[in-house]
Amino acid sequence: MANLRQASLRHANLALVARTVLAADSPPSRADVAAATSLTRSTVSRLVDELVAGGILEEVESVVGGPGRPGRPATPLRASTGRFAALGLQVGVGHLAVRLVDLTGAVLAERLLTADLAGSRPGSTLRRLRTMAGRVLESAPLGCHVVGAGLALPGIVDVEAGRLLSAPNLGWEDVVPGVALEAVLGGLPLRLGNEADLAAHAYAHPAPGHDSQPQDFVYLSGEVGIGGAVVVDGEVMTGRHGWAGEIGHVCVDPDGPPCRCGSTGCLEQYAGRLAMLDAAGLDASTTPSELAARARDGDEKAQLATRSAARALGVALAGVVNVLDIPTVVLGGHLAQVCDLLTPEVEEILGRRVLSGRWVSPRVVIASDDPAPGATGAALLALDELVRDPAGVLGH
């Protein structure tokens, strides 16, 4: 029994040291880790040696000085590059993506494919994704250990069952992707997730164990439709069944146009990419950047489309902020590409409609211009398992 308690404590301390190093804004020394964790320096040194030997952490060039050690060289620590990684996959309405991401958050290899997948057959699409995944795994650096995989999907996902229940914009219903991907994963655990939830996770945590700011925000991603997620203290709020955050299907006008979800007047019928292009009289192949350029050049239809999208976003988000008291909104996908046209009116509506706006001004920020943030988030979430239990991959 005593041996079990000792092993459990060691596992917990390994995780604590790993998290402390990965969370640091700059590479900490062993002394820094000891101060941050309240563990003794000798204990930290033994644990760090184990994590370095196992390839989870690595030492970088020594620097002179450190807390309580003036003039003596301190060896900074950081997450290892390319030693451990996870596979992130994404199926979008307009693309497929596969990425191999390591503990630093770096993309070691990737494959991106632009394709119109609306109405596609799940089996054939997943086989294409499987082929892409195989090529990415073949491109992994020598000695890289892949510890897990995640798949981002644009719909309602039963995470526990590994089942996509519905993806209206794809036209998919009741799909179990793991069956089609099993051959390439070779036994790797696969976790499914909603694309917006995983993109929001990547925004909050750009590398395993590392936090960005803000840690409380409403995330909207746009491709054909609009996905949404709510993040509090860095954690995505998934709700009782894991289906929270469907902001794209918040009703803006009950008498509005029908939506593929079966309702009417949903936000994505005004601010979705195809909805905006249709309102502007533009072909579906037109990029959001081209739409924005037309609006800036005075094209009346393009301006009308962006104003309509901004009003719908403002109304929907005001309701969300009033309910949740989270005044920061992060825009990704096509919304980020036209954000300069949307943001002024969205912020004006939020300021007028949000009750707390008198004291805390709602603000809109932009996510990075990443075509597949869900794939990154899926990989990062898989790597989080390693950070929570490094002893699991160290073999004891």
**How much is the pLDDT for 132?**
98
pLDDT over 70 percentage in the chain: 95
Helix-then-strand count for the chain, H and E: 14, 17
Per-residue pLDDT of 236-253, as tens digits, reads 999 888 889 899 999 999
Q: How far is CA 157 from the centre of its chain?
A: 15
Q: How far apart are CA 256 and CA 272, in angstroms?
A: 14
User: Does any domain span residue 1?
Assistant: no
- Is 351 in the same domain as 286? yes
**How much is the pLDDT for 266?**
95
Rounded to the nearest 5 percent, the helix, strand and coil shares of the chain are 45, 20, 35
**pTM of this prediction?**
0.92
- Is 125 in the same domain as 222? no
Q: How far apart are CA 116 and CA 321, in angstroms?
A: 34
- Is 142 in the same domain as 284? no
Work out the pLDDT band at 72, boundaries 50, 70, 90.
low
Q: Could you tell me the residue range of the domain that residue 358 belongs to?
A: 212-366
3-state secondary structure (DSSP) of residue 329:
strand
Res. 136: pLDDT tops 90 = yes
- 11-25, 59-73, 381-395: the lowest-pLDDT one: 59-73
Per-residue pLDDT of 85-104, as tens digits, reads 999 999 999 999 999 999 99
Bridge-based pairing state of the strands 95-102 and 217-222: unpaired
**How much is the pLDDT for 260?**
86
- Is 20 in the same domain as 120? no
**How much is the pLDDT for 2?**
52
3-state secondary structure (DSSP) of residue 393:
helix
Q: What are phi and psi for residue 156, nearest 5 degrees?
A: -90, 125
- Using the 3D structure, point to which of 61, 76, 100 is the last residue of a domain: 61
**How much is the pLDDT for 74?**
80
Please report, for the domain that includes residue 106, its CATH number.
3.30.420.40
Q: In whole angstroms, how far apart are CA 35 and each of 15, 21, 67, 89? A: 16, 12, 9, 39
**How much is the pLDDT for 396?**
54
Q: How far apart are CA 362 and CA 2, in angstroms?
A: 53
User: Does any domain span residue 40?
Assistant: yes
User: Does any domain span residue 79?
Assistant: no
**How much is the pLDDT for 225?**
84
User: Does any domain span residue 71?
Assistant: no
Q: Mean pLDDT across the stretch 39-48?
A: 95
- The total domain count for the chain is 3
Q: What is the pLDDT of the chain when averaged over all its residues?
A: 92
Per-residue pLDDT of 287-322, as tens digits, reads 999 999 999 999 999 999 999 999 999 999 999 999
Res. 264: pLDDT tops 70 = yes
Please report, for the domain that includes residue 47, its CATH number.
1.10.10
- Is 165 in the same domain as 226? no
Work out the pLDDT band at 7, boundaries 50, 70, 90.
low
